Structure 1
Amino acid sequence: MGNTSHGRLIFTVEVDAPEDLAVDAARADALLTVRARPAGEAEERPGDGKAGHGPRHAEVLIMDRSQSMAASGKLDEAKKAVSAAIDTLRDGTLLGIVAGDHEATVIYPPPGRPLAPVDQHVRQHAKHQVAAQVAQGGTRIGRWLTLARDLFDTSTGSDTVCHAVLYTDGKNEHETPEQLANAVRGCADRFTCDARGLGEHWHRSAIRAVTEGLHGSAAAVLDVPDLTEDFVRLMQDAQQLVMPRMYLALSLTDRFDLGFVRQTRPVQVDLTDQRQERGAEIHIPLGAWAAGAHQYHVSAHFEPESLPLNHRVQAATITLRTEPPAGQADRPMCTDERVLVVKRRSSKAFVIPVSANLTRVEAERELRFAMQDCADAHERGDSALADAKLRQALALAEQLGDARRLRLLRAMAQDGHDGKPVVRPGVSNGQIQQIGLDATRTGPVPDDPVDADTGPRRDTGVCPNCHRPLVAPDAKFCEPCGAKIGAEGAG
């Protein structure tokens, strides 16, 4: 399994990868389950960076103080949430607070000073600055993030766990999506950031851009008073982070190219564009880590004729790496290397075994797109398409046994004239944003993914082009390779 201790955590990598490939297959897929557990019960708690106490933590709290926050007491509730977050931080945590509108301002610590180690005096002064904020201006999230990055850069080293959290109640109207994307790229691999959509009038696109690029969690807080409880939990979770930066390291052999790397649990995120070339390896940033588990879908592409028939061929080696100590260039390994091996079979008649876990991953991806398409169609006013996508999402959630997403979908549905589910009239913008945002949330990794219940088995057939399982019996195209499925079917 590749069980290796690295300082504060012991890492395990499990690989679910069918070895046999069809004669005309052009890709090899693997589902990686990465688990981390504490290295020993004697470990001291993380927090203040002292010897034996784990890494130093730095936290930047980002407040939306735009003019729209003045309505319905939102800014007052947000101040309570930020103050509660400050009270939750352990002594010694480095603290900064950014107030954002169409500009960004550091409201704590005072100008020109580095992030402040939390103590009772710091808490009191920081909360005083939070309470003094007045709603004004617009929203420009990229500027907020850039200022948070600058704060981290002036006060932290490579061994510091840097974490930020922001909320916003409105649309990111003072910058383009491209400007926000550029700002996120400028912060990538520097800190992680959780983001919350507050109330009814925000849009999920900005929240997703932040959290997918900065390895954070995204959520809707529709009832504004709930933000306090959420921020307290986020601070508690952030203080469990003990590895500042982790990387999935892939070394592909000459015949293979990287197709994609996608996180599949607990949240679906395409990580391919974050790749870093490090000598003979490709490194995929995974953000900061605590004890827990994540799953990743890795796909390597190749020309079928390049592989000899009926011979085992090494496609790639897989390991985890982490941030090197100060003054060192090489990222140390956190696990033993795992080897991905494939065998191209000579006959189309050979029965290719199918990974139930990879099949479920594709079905969960289809559910994500159905939910997001439903939200998009509703926003455009295309009720027929929104209703169709809602029904598709409901069916997939039921087949997968996904109780959480099924509950969200049913909350926005009602029976139409023909008895089929349709989007309920009067569904709020907040609910639509939540559906689009939560579409990517797949839940925690099962304790044993090999033996876990992968949901009801469906005879979905296989694609005649790539021989991968289809995600539904009536699929019109193959999601992995994009091939159209003709009337003759794929099964």
Structure 2
Amino acid sequence: MDAPSDLPYDERRADALITVTAHSAAGSAPQTPGAEILIMDRSLSMSGHKLDEAKRAMCAAIDTLRDGARLGIIAGNHDAHVIFPTTGGLARVDARTREDAKLRVIGQLAEGGTAIGQWLARAHRLFASVDSPGTVRHAVLYTDGKDEHETPEQLRDILTSCTDRFVCDARGLGDDWHYIELLLITQALHGTAEAVVTISDLTEDFTRLMREAQRIVVPRVYLGLRLNDRFQLAFVRQTRPVDAELTARQQQGDETHVPLGSWPPETRQYQVSLQFDPHSLTVDEPLRAARVTLHAELPDGTRGPCSETAAMVVRRRSTPGFGIAPSPDLTRVENERELGMAMRACADAHLRGDLDRADRELRLAIGLAESLRDTARLQLLRAVATSGPDGRLRVRRNVSRGQMQGIGVDSTKTATRPVDPHELAPRDAGLPRVCPRCGTTSTSPTAKFCEECGHRFGNAGVAGGPVDAL
């Protein structure tokens, strides 16, 4: 825990950065198989090639699941229908159920509208049929459209009811979905959001998601906070590997539990912010503001501490605010959040047709990404940038809506570490790729397959053909 103890005389806020790492125990295996629900969008806008590719991705995901896992499949439009299993609950995966599940997927037709909240509510009820404690509950959904058949308030209410019940990853296909809805879902349900601009990339993405879901080692983790009565909890945010506000709270005796979702072996970072009346603190007296303990769901479904308790200690100084240097790590977190806000402002402005505002926000975002040495987000921004007539950077006028949705989705992904300037990608990186087989130009610089003929892109074209525009 990184918690600067010295506070300026007139400060009203104390912050801590908490880094948590989950490890796989040597030789351990899950005692309870995971439960997986695949949610497919079969609304009318999915007709044709998109639905064919989505079915291929769903079938690949089914093939990736381990024997013994529990599986359910929901087909969603303006309603939600469990298409597998047809007998209720979730089915145990084996060779026969895999084939049955794939046949049900292949038989779906596109019709109706989009109500994503209904899909998630149906998944919630389906997961409730799993009575084994300590089960990892994971869902994945894709959509190609906006959530038009329910209100934002209805979606938020459903997400509140689903929080801490299961984890959900979400994917936006093509150009016509809305990245804000995906971020709303994945922040509430502790999942990942991605833009899949090239539809044929969905199969590889879903296969990877299934493999990652099977690496989860702890079904549920909670950040336990026991506060001194002079302090109030202002907010808790995840800061790495994605930036997300965590709003759910559960009271366990005198301790507040903040759900952190399911955990594979990885490292995450959180910012805890406390507020207080400065006049309630004695000058130069160390004071324990909070005790912080991690809790995990055990195989029997109960919660138990999985870390030592750490103390957040503060001391109010007589020095004014300018006399105490801020924490470099907390400053970086704030700057990374500002970068994300600029990226979302750029995407929003472009999507509503305000190109001048989009250009200004793009230049601001690129400057922040360069100063932070955030390679990943800098590459994304440069992929949609070009030099205007005045020599300044601006958004490419032929950039697709799907690419700008990707800027919005990826705005929350934070760098794992600063990198050296020579590691940054060149400014001409991210050009559209040209298929060496049929000559079709892809709509995305990160496409892995040609949208026209299905050719898999490599680092170079076939012998005698044109080289991919990387």
Partner residue, 1:476? none
Partner residue, 1:357? 329
Would the alpha carbon gap of residues 327 and 176 (structure 1) be closer, same or farther in structure 2, given more than 3 Å must change? closer
Tell whether 2:361 aligns with 1:389. yes
- 1:32 equivalent among 5, 11, 18: 18
For 2:330 and 2:163, the matched residues in 1 are separated by 28
Partner residue, 1:488? none
- Contact map agreement 1:55 1:242 (CA 8 A) in 2: no
- Contact map agreement 2:24 2:217 (CA 8 A) in 1: no
Q: Displacement, 1:455?
A: 9.2
Partner residue, 2:454? none
Any idea what SS the aligned residue of 2:203 has?
A: helix
- Contact map agreement 1:187 1:214 (CA 8 A) in 2: yes
- Under a length normalisation based on structure 2, what TM-score does the superposition of the two structures give? 0.87
For 1:302-451, list aligned pairs within 5 A. Answer: 302-323=276-297, 326=300, 331-348=303-320, 351-444=323-416, 446=417
- 1:265 equivalent among 236, 240, 255: 240
For 1:62-461, list aligned pairs within 5 A. Answer: 62-71=39-48, 73-111=49-87, 113-271=88-246, 273-323=247-297, 326=300, 331-348=303-320, 351-444=323-416, 446=417
For 1:454 and 1:28, the matched residues in 2 are separated by 31
- Contact map agreement 2:296 2:306 (CA 8 A) in 1: yes
Any idea what SS the aligned residue of 1:17 has?
A: coil
Q: Which amino acid aligns with 2:42?
A: R
Any idea what SS the aligned residue of 1:357 has?
A: helix
1:336-394 CA-to-partner distances (Å, cap 9, x unmatched) read 10000011111328842432111110110000000011111122222221111110000
1:102-142 CA-to-partner distances (Å, cap 9, x unmatched) read 1111110014x221110000101000101101111111100
Q: Which amino acid aligns with 2:354?
A: D
- Contact map agreement 1:360 1:454 (CA 8 A) in 2: no
For 1:75 and 1:94, the matched residues in 2 are separated by 24
- Under a length normalisation based on structure 1, what TM-score does the superposition of the two structures give? 0.83
Q: Displacement, 1:243?
A: 1.1
Q: Which amino acid aligns with 2:47?
A: A
- Contact map agreement 1:58 1:156 (CA 8 A) in 2: no
Q: Displacement, 1:275?
A: 1.6
Q: Displacement, 1:182?
A: 1.1
For 2:322 and 2:344, the matched residues in 1 are separated by 38
Partner residue, 1:55? 32
Q: Displacement, 1:426?
A: 2.2
Q: Which amino acid aligns with 1:42?
A: G
For 2:131 and 2:103, the matched residues in 1 are separated by 25
For 1:412 and 1:441, the matched residues in 2 are separated by 17
1:163-209 CA-to-partner distances (Å, cap 9, x unmatched) read 00000011111111111111111111110000000111111122111
Q: Which amino acid aligns with 1:61?
A: L
- Contact map agreement 2:375 2:419 (CA 8 A) in 1: no
Q: Displacement, 1:324?
A: 5.2
For 2:67 and 2:212, the matched residues in 1 are separated by 16
Partner residue, 1:43? 28
For 1:454 and 1:249, the matched residues in 2 are separated by 36
For 1:82 and 1:327, the matched residues in 2 are separated by 30
Any idea what SS the aligned residue of 2:136 has?
A: strand
Cα RMSD (Å) of the superposition? 1.7
The size of the alignment, in residue pairs, is: 422
For 1:124 and 1:384, the matched residues in 2 are separated by 52
For 1:114 and 1:159, the matched residues in 2 are separated by 17
For 1:347 and 1:140, the matched residues in 2 are separated by 55
Partner residue, 2:450? none
Any idea what SS the aligned residue of 2:238 has?
A: strand
Any idea what SS the aligned residue of 2:38 has?
A: strand
User: Following superposition, which runs of at least 4 residues in structure 1 exceed 3 angstroms of deviation?
Assistant: 324-328, 452-456
Q: Displacement, 1:326?
A: 4.3
- Contact map agreement 1:25 1:304 (CA 8 A) in 2: yes
For 2:15 and 2:194, the matched residues in 1 are separated by 30
Would the alpha carbon gap of residues 454 and 348 (structure 1) be closer, same or farther in structure 2, given more than 3 Å must change? farther
1:390-411 CA-to-partner distances (Å, cap 9, x unmatched) read 1000000111111111111111
Gaps of 5+ in 1: 1-14, 47-53, 447-451, 457-491
For 1:326 and 1:375, the matched residues in 2 are separated by 45
Partner residue, 1:10? none
1:432-456 CA-to-partner distances (Å, cap 9, x unmatched) read 1111111001144x5xxxxx77999
For 1:364 and 1:455, the matched residues in 2 are separated by 17
1:142-165 CA-to-partner distances (Å, cap 9, x unmatched) read 011111111110124331000000
For 2:177 and 2:320, the matched residues in 1 are separated by 51
- Contact map agreement 1:357 1:454 (CA 8 A) in 2: no
- Contact map agreement 1:18 1:353 (CA 8 A) in 2: no
